[in-house]
Amino acid sequence: MADEKPSKKKTEKPGGDAEDPGGKKPAKKAEKKPGAIKLSGAPRAASFWIFLALMSVLAFQFMRQADDGTDMLALSEFHRQIDAENVLKVTFFGESRVEGELKNTITLPSGTDVHEFRTDLVPGAVVALEEELRAQDVEITAKPQGTAWWGVLLGFLPWLLLIAFWIWIVRSIQSGGNKAFQFGRSKAKLISPDKPQVNFGDVAGAEEAKDELEEIVEFLKDPPQYSRLGGRLPKGVLLVGPPGTGKTLLARAVAGEAGRPFFQMSGSDFVEMFVGVGASRVRDLFEQGKAHAPCIIFVDEIDAVGRHRGAGLGGGHDEREQTLNALLVQMDGFEANEGVILLAATNRPDVLDPALLRPGRFDRQVVVDLPDLKGREGILRVHAKQLPLDEDVELSLVARGTPGLSGADLSNICNEAALFAARRGVDHVAMEDFERAKDKVMLGTERKSMVLTESERKLTAYHEAGHAVIGVKVPGLDPVHKVTIVPRGHALGITASLPEEDRHSYTRDWLNGQLAMLFGGRVAEEMTFGEEKVTTGAGNDIERATAMARRMVTRFGMSDRIGLMAVGDSEHEVFLGRELVQRREVSEHTARRVDEEVKRILDDALARARGVLAENRELLESIAVALLDRETLNGDEIQMLLEGKELPPMVVEVEEDQLQLGLPGHEAPAPATPQLAVPEPLPSPG
């Protein structure tokens, strides 16, 4: 990061925050606007519990008043008790109710014992009752008729509850909490600068991308330094690259370095089951960004909402396209969003809408590609900081043996190496653990539970030996790294090659040699066991060779008969492009010529493989016998066999059960190779 010039003056930022130019002090939070008071979660929860407590007290008071210990006595029964002179004292409440006490307890027909009672009176009957009771010397009192406070409240209770419910609904809509009707609010998370963050020192293998993003961070910290000559703050930065190359990690580093509000959101968070929610969330997200400007908004996997409009059967009014339209307007529409930088990441830039990629929206597209040798070594050193490494560990050798791997793959290698060391019960991670972890990640996990017959073991050994002989005898091919008949992952026999240096393009000679190597396994089976004994083991070889030869003819212009013409465009899916149906771009005559040319290239590769193996039959036998004896050969051992030397005695490791074998003929998955001039990796055969 570039050092900033010292200055005694403080720089006034667009959001009204004063910050020293050194950028060491964290930026102040944006002041809240008047009227934008929002209750936090604790006060809202407290108000709910207070309301619930009041309702409980009210219900208890009502039940206590309703059940005051007196029993309801019918008016006729009250008259019978007067006639029986069983009334001790009474109290009149106006002309509607009387309460009293009997001299002797009576039992009603319902089985209820009554001593204290209450009775509702008929209007106008109080005077006659009073005369009868006076004649019997009954104690008479009178109280004015009134309504208890709980009675009035009980009458208004339904209306109070309805009003309280609607107030709660309105408050929920206005508040920022995750409550009812909140699906239109943005789900972006504001990352606080106080939390432990990743910085640019934790990112390796993407130096150019770091330089681009460091300039964005400096722009945020000191806008006048760049705007004094008429420059403006970039509106958007798009991180593009294959999966696992560190796009999200770079965004986290920007969040840790910027010292400004950083909103994080995924592209899939915009889409909801309700129509119009995506566009509403986009608007709300940028409103929050403008309130905290200058700030950064990070949208991961933006291709979830930024796909090309008009593709497929959805028409022009589906939910995703409305969300994209809102995003386009917010990034560069009629109203300017000064100080809001949109940082996005995707590994599918080919499906994004052109309106989203134009300057003014995404001003910069930062490519985060697979790391080279120096980058891989830097990534390994970053991930190995927390590992107790042994003295024999050389990360440069590990980086040299992992071409084409991404940062996520290298992180996985370090983790697997630590796990291997923990299984061995040691305190340090040795180079042996890194080698085993590298083989596990690149070639697959060993499968030791399969036991094969001796004939199947022999067939597998000759199949893999055929690949190895072609690999060491055809000039220009990558050196053979390892040959094994121990199954790994989905592969049940592997011949792996590793390039000596990072390759950025493939020559025609290399591709033809690769085709011959793919056919080496089938040719070795034919030469050793006869054509009637060949197996299905070469199925994957044939499939990969056919695809490679077709790309040579249709895409790379490596056919003299077809020439420099791209034939067909079958790589694109129908619903990702602009067309509902695929157009016919190749005539039947041209398609026939393409098929004939592909067949010719494959036949030439097969003939070349047969010639090489016929000339090196002794080497084929020696490698196959060594595989049957050792099951795994590395590059140095293959070189010794090539020079006619005897292999050193084999060291048997008891903890490694090397006696379990795999099925023949199932080919290895493609070892990772750099994604260079060809769209798909061109692996060594298995």
pLDDT tens profile 273-289: 556 677 888 888 888 88
CA distance 648 to 651: 9
**What's the CA gap between 443 and 489, in Å, rounded?**
7
For the segment 23-33, what is each residue's pLDDT rounded down to a tens digit? 434 444 444 44
Tokens of residue 649, six digits: 């005695």
Give ∠ CA 197-338-280 in degrees, rounded to 5. 80
pLDDT of 207 > 70? The answer is yes
pLDDT band at 592 (very low <50, low <70, confident <90, very high): very high
Residue 667 DSSP label: P
Q: What does the pLDDT read at residue 192?
A: 61
Backbone φ and ψ of 435, nearest 5°: -65, -45
Q: Of 512, 527, 508, which Cα lies nearest the Cα of 615?
A: 527
pLDDT, residue 155, reads: 64
Least confident of 37-51, 282-296, 399-413: 37-51
What count of other Cβ atoms lies within 10 Å of the Cβ of residue 311?
A: 18
The pairing of strands 494-497 and 340-346 is: unpaired
Q: Which residue has the tokens 């604790």?
A: 42
What is the pLDDT confidence band of residue 178, given thresholds at 50, 70 and 90? very low
Q: Domain-by-domain residue ranges, the chain?
A: 41-63+150-174, 70-146, 185-367, 373-442, 444-642
Q: Taking residues 656-685, report their average pLDDT.
A: 37
Look up tokens 């009073």; give the residue: 130
Query: With contact defined as beta carbons under 8 Å apart, do 103 and 87 qualify?
Result: yes
| Cis bond upstream, residue 671 (ω within 30) | no
d(CA 290, CA 336): 10
Catalytic residues: 464
No. of H helices and E strands in the chain? Answer: 21, 16
From CA 84, how far away is CA 77, in angstroms rounded? Answer: 10
Which pLDDT score is estimated for 680? 43
Q: At residue 18, what is the residue type?
A: A
In DSSP notation, 323-366 reads HHHHHHHHHSSSS--TTEEEEEEES-GGGB-HHHHSTTTS-EEE
Torsions phi, psi for 343 (to 5 deg): -110, 125
**Predicted confidence band of residue 213 (pLDDT cuts 50, 70, 90):** confident
Length of the chain: 686
Cα 259 from Cα 279, distance rounded (Å): 29
In terms of C-beta density within 10 A (0-12 exposed, 13-18 middle, 19 or more buried), how is residue 4 classed? middle
Contacts for 415 with CB less than 8 Å, ≥ 6 apart: 383, 437
pLDDT digits (tens, 9 = 90+) for 117-135: 888 888 777 888 888 888 8
- Is the confidence at residue 613, as pLDDT, over 90? yes
Name the CATH code of domain 373-442 (choices 1.20.950.20, 3.40.1440.10, 3.30.360.10, 1.10.8.60). 1.10.8.60
d(Cα 586, Cα 609) in Å, to the nearest integer? 32
pLDDT at 609 over 80: yes
Task: Tell the CATH superfamily of the 185-367 domain.
Answer: P-loop containing nucleotide triphosphate hydrolases (3.40.50.300)
Most confident of 79-83, 481-485, 550-554, 572-576: 550-554
Structure confidence by residue, pLDDT tens digits, 56-65: 666 665 555 5
Rounded average pLDDT over 188-212: 75
pLDDT greater than 90 at residue 53:
no
Residue 575 pLDDT = 44
Q: Are 388 and 429 in contact (CB under 8 A)?
A: yes
Asked whether the predicted pLDDT for residue 148 surpasses 90, the reply is: no
Tell me the pTM. 0.65
pLDDT at 14 over 70: no
Q: Which residues of 315-346 are buried (b: 16+ CB within 10 A; e: fewer)?
A: eeeebbbbbbbbbbebbbeeeebebbbbbbbb
- pLDDT at residue 108 is higher than 50: yes
Per-residue pLDDT at 5: 40
Token pair for 449: 């539970």
SS3 sequence, 370-406?
CCCHHHHHHHHHHHCCCCCECCCCCHHHHHHCCCCCC
Same fold, 70-146 and 373-442: no
CATH class given for the domain over 70-146 = alpha beta
CA distances from 306 to 148, 290, 324, 349, 358 (A): 65, 22, 6, 9, 13
62-68, Cβ contacts within 8 angstroms, sequence gap of 24 or more? 62/150, 62/154, 65/148, 65/150
Give the pLDDT of residue 665. Answer: 39
Per-residue pLDDT at 187: 57
Instruction: Return the minimum-mean-pLDDT range out of 13-17, 383-387, 597-601.
Output: 13-17
**Residue 85 corresponds to which tokens in the numbers above?**
């002179």
CA dihedral for 186, 192, 197, 203, sign (positive or negative): positive
Residue 180 has pLDDT above 70, yes or no: no
pLDDT of residue 69: 53
Across the range 188-210, mean pLDDT stands at 74
- The pLDDT of residue 653 is 52
State which H helix or E strand residue 71 sits in: strand 71-72
Q: What is the mean pLDDT of residues 151-159?
A: 67
Q: Taking the CA atoms of 502, 505, 509 and 510 in sequence, report the sign of the dihedral they define.
A: positive
CATH class of the domain comprising 444-642: mainly alpha
Average pLDDT value over all residues in the chain: 76
- Looking at residue 612, its pLDDT comes to 94
* Start-to-end C-alpha separation, the chain: 46
Residue 314, both tokens: 């959805």
Q: Which amino acid is at 4?
A: E
